[in-house]
Chain A
Amino acid sequence: MRIQEIRNMFPALSASVYGRPLVYLDNAATSQRLDGVVKKMDDLALWTNANIHRAVHKLAADATEEYESTRDAVRDFIGAESREEIVFTSGTTDSINLAAFSLGETFVGEGDEIIVTEEEHHSNIVPWQMLCLRKGATLKVLGVDDDGHLKIGDLESLITDRTRLVAVAHISNVLGIVNPVKEIVSICHSKGCPVLIDGAQGIVHETVDVRDLDCDFYALSGHKIYAATGTGVLYGKKKWLDRMVPYQGGGEMISTVSFSGTTYAPLPGKFEAGTRNINAIPTLKPALEFLKLLRDKELQEEITGVRDYLGSALQQLGKVRLFGVPRGTETKIPLFSFTVDGAHHEDLALILDKMGIAVRSGQMCAEPLMDRYGVTGMTRVSLAPYNTLEEAEYFVNSLGKAISMLI
C-alpha cells in the first residue's frame, strides 16, 4: 500500500486554500476525516438515529448495537481484558477529567500527592490541579531534560507513600518522543502507585496494548485517529473503575433511583450518564479498522521516509532549533516542534498559511514546557500517513522562504 492510496480516502485533502492546494500539517491537533467515518456519521444521523439501551423498537436496537459493538472494537484494539473497562467520553480531556474527579473523590485526601510531568498537555495538568485544590493535595512534577526526555531516573524517589497517581503522556504533543511508559508503569507499580497514560498522541502512532503496558488508565481521543470529534475513551482497570464514584449523575448511569437514595448502574454505564455522542462514537469502528490498515509494511517504510526527510531537512535549515531529539533506539513520531532565531512562530505560521500550509504555532497547550525551554511559543509541523514526500518538500522550501522574508 502507498501513501497516495491512503490520501484518496480523505476527501478534505483535495481542498484548496487561498488558491493553493491544501497542505495539512497540523495533524497532532486534529486529523482530517476518513471517508468511511463521514459515511458512518451520515448513516447514523440519517437512518439509525434513536436513543440507545432503553427503548425496545428497531431503531433503538440498531443504534445500541452500533454503540456497543464499538466498545467491543475498542476493547479488542487496545487489548483490554473486558468491555466493562471501556468508558466512552467526548475525548482525552473528558477522559482525564473523569478520572481526576472520580479517582480523586474516592482515593485522594489532604496531604496526598499526584505526579504529572513537565511535558504534559494542559489537559493532563489542570484536572489534577483542580483535584489537588479540592482535596488539599499536592501536585508534583517530573522534569524533562534539555533534549526532551523525561527524567525517568528521578521518578522512583519522587513517589512517596502519599502518591496516589502518576499521570504521564504516552507521547508529548510538543516533543514527539515515545515515552518509555511500560518502564514508568513498572516503576510506579513497584511503589504501589497507579498510572494514567494520556494517549491522545500515543494511540495515533503506537500499537497500544493496555494489558502489556499494565497501565491503570489510558485516555484517548477519536478525532486524532480520523474518527468524529467529540469521541473518546477512558480505559480503566476494572478494579479501579468498580471502586470509583461516578463522575456525572443522570440517566443511564443508575440502577434504581428514589428520593431516599440511588444505586448506580454496573460498569461501564456508571460512567456514561445521559445521552452520549451516539451518532459519533461508532465512527471509532471504521477509524480503528483504518489504523490496522496502516500497519502495512510497505506503507510504514514510505511514511518513515517522509519523516526522516523532514527531520534532516529541518536540521539543515539554518537558525532552526528542534525540540525533542531522540537518542538510541527511541522512536520519534513524525512531529517536529521548532523555533527559528529571529523569526516569531506566529509570523511563520501566518506566512505558511498563505502558502496553503497548515501548521500549529504558539504554546501548544503546554505552557509549562514552553517555560522550561524559555520560549514564548514554537512552530509545530505534524504529519499523518496521508502526507506525501512532495508535501514535506514543499513545506521545507516554503519555510525557507518564510524565514528569508522575516530575517
Chain B
Amino acid sequence: MSTLEEAKKAVVEEFSMYDEWLDKYEYLIELGKNLEPYPEEDKTEDKLIKGCQSRVWLDSRFEDGKIFFKADSDAIITKGIISLLIGVYSGRTPEEIAGDDFGFINEIGLKENLSPTRANGLVSMIEKIKELAKEKSAADVLTAEDAKALAPLYDNVVLALKQVYDPEIPVNVYDLGLIYELIINKKHEAFIKMTFTAPTCPMADEVLSEVKKSVSDVPGITACEVELTFDPPWDQSMLSDEARIDLGMD
C-alpha cells in the first residue's frame, strides 16, 4: 500500500488532468457510482451525519492498529468525494490521520464543497474522521504492563479533578458529573471531555484551564487536553451520590 503522502499526491495528479469543472464532476460522479456499497442496515441514526443538503453515513472499524472507513451519501458528487477520502485515509494508523491537515482537498479545488461555513455533511464527515482517529490514537493498544502503569494515574487524575470546584455550586467538577470522558494513553497524555451545567457559564474558561492545570500537575502525566462539549447537555441525573448528599438532595 502506498503511503498517505503518495495517496494524496496521486489524487491531486488525477485531478490536475481535468481543467473543466464539469469534467471534474463527471469524474467524481464516476467515483461515486463505483464506491463500495454501504450496507443498508448500517444506515442507522448514530452513523448519520446530517448536513443541510446531503446526508452522509460513516462507519469505521479498528483492525491491526489501523482504522478502516466505509461511508455513503444520498448525493452522488458527495459520494465521489467520500470515495476519494476513503481511498486516501482508510487503512491508515490513527496517528497518521490525526497528524494530517486534509489540505489536499483544497489543492484539487474542492474547497468550496467543503467550506465549513456551508452546512455540509462532508465537512462533518472529515471532522468525524479526525475525531475517530484522535480517539483511537489516544486509546491505543495497551499491554498488560501499560495498563498496570496507567491504573494509579487514573486514580490520581480523578483526585486532581476532585480539587476543581464549580464556581456556583459547592461540588467538585467530577462529582457534579461534568467529566464525560477521561482517557490516558500510553504516553501518559490525558484527554478529558467535559461539560458545564449550562452553556452560558461565565467562568467557563477559568474552570477549563483549572482542570487542565490540575491534571497536568499530577506526577507522571505528560500532557493534558481538555475538550468542551454540550452533547449531551448536563442534567441532574449525572450527579454522583456524594454530590447528592452534599447538596442535600437525597
Contact = CB atoms under 8 A, between A and B. Distances in A.
Interface string B163-176: 00000000000000
Contacts of A376: 55, 74
A354 B22 contact: yes
A344 B25 CA distance: 14
Given A345-B53, A361-B53, A376-B55, A350 B25 contact: yes
A354 to B, nearest CB: 4
B54 A346 contact: yes
Given A346-B53, A376-B55, A354 B76 contact: no
A250 B49 CA distance: 42
B113 interface: yes
A351 interface: yes
Q: Which of A344, A349, A362 has the most CB of B within 10 A?
A: A344
Q: From DSSP, what is the main secondary structure of chain B's interface residues? A: helix
A344 B52 contact: no
Interface string B30-61: 00000000000000000000001111000000
* B-side interface size class: 10 to 19
B53 A406 contact: no
B74 A405 contact: no
A344 B77 CA distance: 9
Contacts of B75: 344-347
B77 A350 contact: yes
B29 A405 contact: yes
B137 interface: no
Contact of A351 (B25, B54, B74): B25
Contacts of B52: 362-363
B189 to A, nearest CB: 39
Interface in A179-213: none
Contacts of A351: 22, 25, 77
B78 interface: yes
A344 B54 contact: yes
Contacts of B78: 346-347
A347 B22 contact: no
B53 A405 contact: no
Contacts of B74: 344, 376
A366 B56 CA distance: 21
A377 B52 CA distance: 9
Contacts of A361: 53
Counting contact residues on chain A (CB < 8 A from B), the size range is: 10 to 19
Nearest to A362: B53
A357 interface: no
Given A376-B55, A377-B53, A406-B29, A347 B76 contact: yes
Contacts of B26: 405
Contacts of A347: 29, 75-78
* Residue from the set B26, B52, B54, B78 with the largest chain A CB neighbour count within 10 Å: B54
A259 interface: no
A150 interface: no
A355 interface: yes
Given A345-B53, A362-B53, A377-B53, A18 B21 contact: yes
A405 B113 contact: no
Contacts of B55: 376
Contact of A354 (B21, B29, B53, B54): B21
B197 to A, nearest CB: 21
Given A361-B53, A376-B55, A405-B29, A344 B76 contact: yes
B53 to A, nearest CB: 4
Contacts of B54: 344, 346
A350 B77 CA distance: 9
Interface string B63-93: 0000000000011111000000000000000
A363 B53 CA distance: 7
Contacts of A354: 21-22, 25
30 contacts: A18-B21, A343-B76, A344-B54, A344-B74, A344-B75, A344-B76, A345-B53, A345-B75, A346-B54, A346-B77, A346-B78, A347-B29, A347-B75, A347-B76, A347-B77, A350-B25, A350-B77, A351-B22, A351-B25, A351-B77, A354-B25, A355-B22, A362-B52, A363-B52, A376-B74, A377-B53, A405-B25, A405-B29, A406-B29, A406-B76
Given A347-B77, A405-B25, A405-B26, 19 more contacts: A18-B21, A344-B75, A345-B75, A347-B76, A349-B53, A350-B77, A350-B113, A351-B22, A351-B25, A354-B21, A354-B22, A355-B22, A362-B52, A362-B53, A376-B74, A377-B53, A405-B22, A406-B29, A406-B76
The 6 closest A-B pairs by CB, nearest first: A344-B75, A346-B53, A354-B21, A346-B75, A346-B54, A362-B53
